[in-house]
Amino acid sequence: LAAYARDAGHLAQIRGDTGARVLIAPVTARGRALGTLTLLSDAGSDRVYDDADLESLAELARRAGLALDNLRLYHDAQRQRTLAARRAEQLAASNAELEQFAYVASHDLQEPLRMVTQYMGLIDRKYAAELDERGRSYVAYAVDGAVRMHQLIADLLAYARTGRAEQVFTVFDPRVVVDETLRTLAGQIAERQATVEVAPLPQVRGDRTRLALVFQNLITNALKFSPAPARIAISAVTRGDEIEFAVADRGIGLDPQFADRIFEVFQRLHSRELYPGTGIGLAICKKIVNSHGGRIWVESRPGEGAIFRFTVPSADAPTTGLHKAL
């Protein structure tokens, strides 16, 4: 009782030293004591507490405990939301700094790398006769490395630009975009003896230029990992306010455990000698699709080909919530 008394007079009352009658109910929540509720009658009062009073006080104490526990949970949730928001802001700032660094670094590296490539090519053309076989192979290695580095920087710059560019959302026919992409990739399609089937595609709302890059990267990916003669199918289905596109091939496929990893920057499942590339293309696709409020994923098994699917808003989708910048 001494622990709960406010002062000496209160302690005397609840001990009964003053002749007052007292009724006490513990306030608990989740098995933890939070305090007590106390009813006191005046010393001269003829008030007598009965079982009904005890039940009423116990119910009041139970509700008080529940209210206090809910208040604690609310404050905990508020703190967690504040912490999550702060971390999200820090992550966004960090990502912005990384994108800025990638943009500046890749942009500034292009010119010196271009000089290296040009001078190595000049050595190969003008002094090849003066070099032995080993010397010529060294030059070839250097030129090949410079070319690959140039492609890596170009892809890194494209990825950084994807994060900096403003988007213009319009309603357009994706079939036109796919046909333009196929004309651009005509050389690769002929090299792989590929047949590309395109089903009817409904109109979408999005950034035409960015989504064209998604189709280009996915079709290029399908050509790269498909033995000749390659077979590629492009289709779409309407799901509510979204259009779900699919780019399917009959290539080498991949293990499902790597289905998320391939959309990360610089992630490769095969050696560069077997399948050239920088490992940035699918990361760019993910960034663009996410900026449209959609998602992208792959369904595949080794040796059974792959189906890359992604969603973007339909032509009739509400415009609220669409990102205006990547």
180-192 pLDDT per residue, tens = 999 989 988 999 9
Which residues, at least 6 apart from 184, have a Cβ–Cβ distance to it below 8 Å? 216
Selected residue with higher pLDDT from 160 and 125: 125
pLDDT at position 285 is 92
Section 2-7 average pLDDT: 63
Q: For 8-81, which CATH superfamily applies?
A: GAF domain (3.30.450.40)
Give the C-alpha separation, 185 to 220, whole Å.
Answer: 8
Quote the percentage of the chain above a pLDDT of 70.
Answer: 78
pLDDT at position 211 is 94
pLDDT at position 326 is 43
Which whole-number Å values give the CA distances from 5 to 13, 35, 44, 241, 282, in the listed order?
A: 9, 11, 21, 63, 68
216-232 pLDDT per residue, tens = 999 999 999 898 899 99
Section 237-252 average pLDDT: 94
Using CB atoms within 10 Å of the CB of residue 220, give its burial: 0 to 12 exposed, 13 to 18 middle, 19+ buried: middle
Measured over the CA atoms of residue 145, residue 151, residue 152 and residue 157, the dihedral's sign is positive
CATH class of residue range 169-313: alpha beta
Q: pTM for the complete prediction?
A: 0.57
Write down the mean pLDDT value for the chain. 82
Q: Can you give the residue ranges of every domain in the chain?
A: 8-81, 94-164, 169-313
85-129 pLDDT per residue, tens = 888 787 777 666 666 666 666 666 777 777 888 888 888 888 878
> What does the buried/exposed string (b/e) look like for 113-126 if buried means 16 or more CB atoms within 10 Å of the residue's CB?
beeebeebeebeee
